[in-house]
Amino acid sequence: MGAFLPIPILAIVLGIVALARGTALPGRATVGIAFGATFLPVWCGFIAICIWSYNVNLL
């Protein structure tokens, strides 16, 4: 079940919230947004492969 945690989505959302509130370290928020946007397709692909492999093994 740990694969279904939306870590990249949380990184993007929390980075935007931090920038909107005016954090003392905006670089960390920007890096969080960048990493979240970078790894979101990887995360979605991993979930898709997990679902695909689960369905293939049932046949």
Q: What is the pLDDT of residues 2-53, one digit of tens each?
A: 556 688 899 999 999 999 999 888 999 999 999 999 999 988 898 888 888 8
| pLDDT at residue 50, as a whole number | 85
| pLDDT at residue 46, as a whole number | 86
| pLDDT at residue 1, as a whole number | 46
| pLDDT at residue 43, as a whole number | 87
SS (H, E, C) the chain: CHHHCCHHHHHHHHHHHHHHHCCCCHHHHHHHHHHHHHHHHHHHHHHHHHHHHHHHHHC
